[in-house]
A and B are shown apart, each in its own frame.
Chain A
Amino acid sequence: METKIGLEIHVELSTETKMFCPCKNEYGGEPNTRICPVCMGEPGILPSPNFEAVKKAVKVGIALNSKINRFSIFTRKNYFYPDLPKGYQITQYGTSIAEGGSVNIKSGSVYLERINIEEETAKSIYTENGEVLLDFNRCGIPLLEIVTLPCIKSPEEAVEFLKELRRIIRYLGVSECDMEKGMFRVDSNVSVSKEGRAELKNLNSLKAVYEGLLYEIKRQKEVIEKGEKIRRETRLWDEFKKETRVMRVKEEELDYRYFPEPDLPPLELSTELIEKIKKEIPELPYQKKQRFVKLYFLDEKDAEILVSEKELADYFEEILKFYKNPEDVSSWVITELLAYTEPENTRKLGLSASEIAQLVKSVNENKITRNIGKEILKRSISEKIPISELIKKEEKSIIKGDDIIESAVKEVIEENPDVVEKYIKGKKGVLGFLIGQTMKKLKGRADPKQVGKLILKKLEKNS
């Protein structure tokens, strides 16, 4: 039995205005404040396509290696639902803005069928007393529909593909792709045999995609093992019960009565425009990763983490401008900085690139110890004190004169005669312990290398 998974992803484009009217495209806000006759589907209105959204769709198409169609048409998809004010959604069917394309993942490529431009529906809000309220702020926001071929072989691959797709779109700066805010939504179709497949809806997070697919594959295999057939149906993933259940069977599928949108002429793109957009495509994550490995001699794993978000990668390179030491900067960014925040929010910590550079440099030049460096980072984040100020303070308090250190060394040697004994007998490894003890006494305010030197000097004298 061969598992085949196809995905359908809806991405809300971030644009100044909505797809077919001048209302602002923003998330949330006081319900029904960003509406007009057009997005409310009042009588007599006509749609005016948002060219910014069209250009962003082309950008995505190019970045995903799709063929951009110079002519595409808008289509009406007809069905009744309160969140659909006109009784139809303007989408594309038959002739899309982009066709084909692929996204590379570890195990190969995921191939795309098409990319369509369409409009978002209103948001239904279900109240405790059983009412349904409608918020049309969301209605008419430009939406991309990205459809893959059923070529994904496992839930793991599906998740990896979605992560990469989301990352590429975020790199292009055309959508925030925030799944919690519904800006990146996933539907799926799954089959484990030649006949019969199920559509899977309500996959609201990557975890839901993974668990939902896993469950559905298992369910279908069990049905077949029992000698039964897989029914063609749409199923809903229940995140709480961890199961999929039937939403509607094939006979109940809606007939959308598609036909070309008569209110809009075909969407025509000049080759010049397509070429211009091509030039605007930024370095994509996989390209950036290769460059980091080659240029900065980073290992693959670190490079992968650094390019996971464009914001982080840019931040990393900005720090390098102030202190060209890719290895140590990457180590600090990955192990220290990312302990405090998600990759996409590194800048929100409020630390300037030059300050981070100074911190790494100070540690490397033994002006402060690594531990103190970490301490400084923590204080700077929590107390909002500039790193440079903290480093200055620490530098002042650092013990440079040999006499204070020497007396501490003396104390440590006196307190640990057995360890000293071991050292003398040739167990040189215990030196680290002695350094650690001394540093503890000095509350870390000394250069461990200097401490080491002085211990060695003292021990040599003793032996």
Chain B
Amino acid sequence: MKELNLPVHLLIEKYKKGDFLPSQLIESLIKKIKEKDKHINSFIKVFENQAIERAKILDKKIKNKEKTGSLFGVPVAIKDNILVKDAETTCASKILKGYIATYNATVVEKLLLEDAIIIGKTNMDEFGMGSSNEFSSSGPVHNPLKKGYVPGGSSGGSAAAIAAGFATCALGSDTGGSVRQPAAFCGVVGFKPTYGRVSRYGLVAFASSCDQIGPITINVMDSWTIFRIIAGFDEKDKTTFDVPAPEIPEEEIKFRIGFPEKLLEQGVEEEIKARLDEILREFVKSKNYELKNIEMRSFRYAIPVYHIITGAEASSNLARFDGIRYGLRLEGKYLEEVYKKTRGYGFGEEVLRRIIMGGFALRSGYYEEYYIKAQKARSMILEEFMDNFEKVDFIITPTSPFPAFKIGEKVEDPIKLYLSDIFTVSANLSGIPAISIPCGKTGEGLPIGMQIMAKPLDEGRLFKLSLQLEDFIKQRYGN
């Protein structure tokens, strides 16, 4: 069935025309996943029976000409740190083995209301901590575009599933680039909304002040569609905004684009830098937009600041996994032994590293020196962004300084791995929206991602520009 890779609106059109039924699509999709995911490992769990059952209910809606939702029959893959009621949610961690979610995340409720079909739970770096999807209790994910390469992380499974055509859309979570970077590595679109746009209720927290759920899709329009559905104030998440939904402006706007050239001088692979340079210059010329060189001096603090804050929050957020109420429990002679055994065995190496580091930053006597200082630097980063957004409408960078790398290449060197997030973490620290769109491939055939950042709540204009850029790039480089 070649219709498997259609974008949302075309897929729904086919259903409406009666070309095929939701159940037929889901059946062939599941067959495809069974056949091909062995080599990719993008799913932790495929909801084979449940998805077909739900599709059959939707079949009837078509037959009875009932009203249908805006994601009618659209297969969606959900990252395994987002709760789907009655399904195991592991966060790719041994410690949550056997935990069955007792409720639906708000985003899942919203997707189901629009008649989406949840096809399964996708692989990830344990609790969202990682940039290569190598830190997973379910094993590493392979990049569908190049064997032996990582898909990026932490939403590596979601990005790989979309790139492999296992689902139309996927949800990921982005704490420091975890949606955008894997999307870039897999040649798909990944979007992190403004902090507070999308409810985090039902997203297993990694770092509460940075986490945001975002869509991974084959194109920009689908990203917008999913975003519009999952966004909005949620009574259950007090950090969500009660503001009107964003709209893509129809009128022509002469956009001003900021490009921090100096920032790209170090550490960015030449091929990536050249590609972005070329696209931007020509695009701007064709549209008669303005391209400005801007400075982002605070970016160099972003990685350490990010790790102190997210580590601190993670050390607290992950304290609930103690073996007492749910998930894994290793017995001990006394309470402390239960804690030590359960957590010591249940968490992977990278998660333990971050918990220990984060807990340290919060200790009395060190708190001022690390956590408070990091918070100050964090507001500096936001200030610099806001200053720049006075001069430009968007800031564009590569999503990652390098394309997908070989599995095992960086896993032994956490610092090197952390650096792959150098361009993405600042958007999380300052809460601004950011999208990664594909812009062709390297000579080796590895996708290149371009990141576009906008000011808080400015998603409407961000998507307008992204659609234009996507168009321009597709015309120039093809798919």
Whether the Cβ atoms of A42 and B201 lie closer than 8 Å is no
Residue of A nearest to B336 (CB): A80
User: Which residues of chain B from 387 to 442 have a CB within 8 Å of any chain A CB?
Assistant: none
* Complex interface: chain B residues within 8 A of A326 (CB): none
A265 interface hit (Cβ, 8 Å)? yes
| 26 CB-based A-B contacts, threshold 8 Å | A42-B103, A43-B89, A43-B91, A43-B99, A43-B205, A43-B320, A46-B200, A49-B238, A80-B322, A80-B339, A82-B322, A85-B325, A86-B320, A87-B318, A87-B322, A88-B319, A257-B315, A257-B363, A257-B367, A258-B362, A259-B312, A259-B316, A259-B367, A259-B371, A265-B238, A265-B239
| Majority DSSP secondary structure for residues of B touching A | loop
* Complex interface: chain B residues within 8 A of A85 (CB): 320, 324-325
A78 to B360, CA, bound (A): 12
Choose one: A40, A41, A45, A255; the contact of B201 (CB below 8 Å).
A45
* Complex interface: chain A residues within 8 A of B321 (CB): 43
Whether the Cβ atoms of A44 and B319 lie closer than 8 Å is no
Whether the Cβ atoms of B312 and A42 lie closer than 8 Å is no
A43 to B200, CA, bound (A): 11
Choose one: A48, A78, A82, A88; the contact of B238 (CB below 8 Å).
A48
A264 to B208, CA, bound (A): 10
B286 interface hit (Cβ, 8 Å)? no
B236 interface hit (Cβ, 8 Å)? yes
* Complex interface: chain A residues within 8 A of B326 (CB): 42
Enumerate the 10 nearest inter-chain pairs by beta-carbon distance, A residue then B residue, closest first: A87-B319, A257-B362, A262-B208, A262-B209, A43-B204, A44-B202, A41-B320, A86-B320, A87-B320, A44-B83
A37 to B104, CA, bound (A): 11
A263 interface hit (Cβ, 8 Å)? yes
Residue of B nearest to A41 (CB): B320
Whether the Cβ atoms of A262 and B313 lie closer than 8 Å is yes
Choose one: B83, B205, B239, B363; the contact of A255 (CB below 8 Å).
B363
User: Which residues of chain B from 362 to 380 have a CB within 8 Å of any chain A CB?
Assistant: 362-364, 367, 371
Whether the Cβ atoms of B316 and A87 lie closer than 8 Å is yes
A40 to B105, CA, bound (A): 16
* Complex interface: chain B residues within 8 A of A41 (CB): 320, 325
What's the nearest-Cβ distance from chain A to residue B260, in Å? 28
Chain B residues within CB distance 8 Å of chain A: 82-83, 89, 91, 96, 99, 101-103, 105, 200-205, 207-209, 235-239, 312-313, 315-316, 318-322, 324-326, 335, 339, 359, 362-364, 367, 371
Residue of B nearest to A76 (CB): B316
User: Which residues of chain A from 86 to 102 have a CB within 8 Å of any chain B CB?
Assistant: 86-88
A134 to B235, CA, bound (A): 29
* Complex interface: chain A residues within 8 A of B105 (CB): 44
What's the nearest-Cβ distance from chain B to residue A312, in Å? 42
A404 to B235, CA, bound (A): 82
* Complex interface: chain B residues within 8 A of A182 (CB): none
A37 to B103, CA, bound (A): 8
* Complex interface: chain A residues within 8 A of B318 (CB): 87
* Complex interface: chain B residues within 8 A of A262 (CB): 207-209, 239, 313
A196 interface hit (Cβ, 8 Å)? no
Residue of B nearest to A87 (CB): B319
User: Which residues of chain A from 158 to 192 have a CB within 8 Å of any chain B CB?
Assistant: none
A69 to B320, CA, bound (A): 31
A47 interface hit (Cβ, 8 Å)? yes
* Complex interface: chain A residues within 8 A of B102 (CB): 37, 42
| Majority DSSP secondary structure for residues of A touching B | loop
A44 to B78, CA, bound (A): 14
A41 to B203, CA, bound (A): 13
What's the nearest-Cβ distance from chain B to residue A50, in Å? 12
* Complex interface: chain A residues within 8 A of B362 (CB): 78, 257-259
What's the nearest-Cβ distance from chain B to residue A356, in Å? 50
Residue of A nearest to B358 (CB): A257
Residue of A nearest to B211 (CB): A262
* Complex interface: chain B residues within 8 A of A45 (CB): 201-202
User: Which residues of chain A from 47 to 90 have a CB within 8 Å of any chain B CB?
Assistant: 47-49, 76, 78, 80, 82, 85-88
* Complex interface: chain B residues within 8 A of A134 (CB): 324
A44 to B318, CA, bound (A): 11
Task: Decide: A46 near B201, CB < 8 A? Known: A78-B316, A78-B362, A262-B313.
Answer: yes
A462 to B221, CA, bound (A): 121
Choose one: B96, B322, B359; the contact of A43 (CB below 8 Å).
B96
Task: Decide: A47 near B238, CB < 8 A? Known: A257-B359, A259-B362.
Answer: yes
* Complex interface: chain A residues within 8 A of B202 (CB): 44-45
With contacts A44-B105, A86-B319, A263-B208 known, what are 6 further pairs, Cβ within 8 A?
Answer: A43-B89, A44-B204, A49-B238, A87-B319, A257-B315, A263-B238
* Complex interface: chain A residues within 8 A of B207 (CB): 262
What's the nearest-Cβ distance from chain B to residue A354, in Å? 48
A345 to B219, CA, bound (A): 71
* Complex interface: chain B residues within 8 A of A40 (CB): 325
Q: 1/0 per position for A260-278, CB-CB distance to B under 8 A? A: 0011110000000000000
Whether the Cβ atoms of A78 and B208 lie closer than 8 Å is no
A255 to B316, CA, bound (A): 13
Whether the Cβ atoms of A255 and B364 lie closer than 8 Å is yes
* Complex interface: chain A residues within 8 A of B209 (CB): 262
What's the nearest-Cβ distance from chain A to residue B83, in Å? 5
Whether the Cβ atoms of B236 and A46 lie closer than 8 Å is yes
